[in-house]
Amino acid sequence: MYQYLLFDLDGTLCDTSCGVLRSVQYALGKMNLPVPEADALRCFIGPPLVEIFGEYCGFSRDEAVRATAIYRERYSVTGVLEAEPYAGIPDLLAELSARGVIMGIATGKPAPYSPTILENHGLKKYFRTISTPELDGRHSDKRELITRALEAMGVKPADYAQVAMIGDRHFDIIGAHEVGVTAIGVQYGFAPDGELETAGADYVVESVSALRRLLLEVDA
């Protein structure tokens, strides 16, 4: 069993898709662009918003920054409240904590949203630290987020063999390997089919129950 665990938030601990996608639709509408159905916008879940607004809409940097600000008009008030933990996650975190596992968050969702989501669902108490980027996109590199989290948890490089990073996108897998820790991918999140395997995940699990079996080394 790993002594230290880092979790991504979106698509790993919580299904944040409703709030994210509705807020993207809000931003596109305010920018006088066509507003697709939510399923067509799932690429917005995970990457830095300025980056993905630029790629998806062909925006300049300034336009992407403006779209992100409009997105946050809705997300900061309503969207942040639309996240829900995946079934089984609260129980898994409680069990890991009871066994003495030290846990942290390394997520691309910036403060103050990540702490708010965790606090709203009674999950914040399980985490030693919450490593997030700034609202302006600074410090969003996953390797940096993971490294900062491990430092805050007091984990030394000599102990990295006892660390696993758990996430649902290739950013999580690549960042974990760049730091030198085990990468666990969860298929129940937002990654397209095959993304986690292509990124080189050490383990890929299809459900929260399968994640529990792996982390707790149990049969059921």
Domains of the chain: 4-15+83-216 (3.40.50.1000), 17-81 (1.10.150.240)
- The pLDDT tens digits of the residues spanning 71-122 come to 999 999 999 999 999 999 999 999 999 999 999 999 988 888 999 999 999 9
CA distance 50 to 63: 9
| Residue 132 tokens, joined | 């997030």
139 has pLDDT over 80: no
**Helix residue ranges per DSSP H, 105-201:** 113-120, 142-152, 170-179, 195-199
Please, how many CA atoms are within 13 Å of residue 196, restricted to the half-sphere of its CB?
24
User: What angle in degrees, to the nearest 10, is found between the helix axes of 208-216 and 89-98?
Assistant: 10
Q: Scanning the structure block, which residue is given the tokens 């995940």? A: 201
Q: CA Rg, the chain, in Å?
A: 17
Collapse the DSSP code of 164 into the 3-class scheme (helix H, G, I; strand E, B; otherwise coil) and give the result. strand
219 has pLDDT over 80: no
The torsion angle over the Cα atoms of residues 205, 140, 116 and 99, rounded to 10 degrees, is 40
Q: Residue 101 corresponds to which amino acid?
A: V
pLDDT category, 45, cuts 50, 70, 90? confident
Strand partners, 128: none
Longest CA span, the chain: 53
Q: What local confidence, expressed as pLDDT, does residue 135 receive?
A: 79
| Residue 93 tokens, joined | 């975190």
| Residue 23 tokens, joined | 């807020």
Collapse the DSSP code of 84 into the 3-class scheme (helix H, G, I; strand E, B; otherwise coil) and give the result. strand
pTM score: 0.91
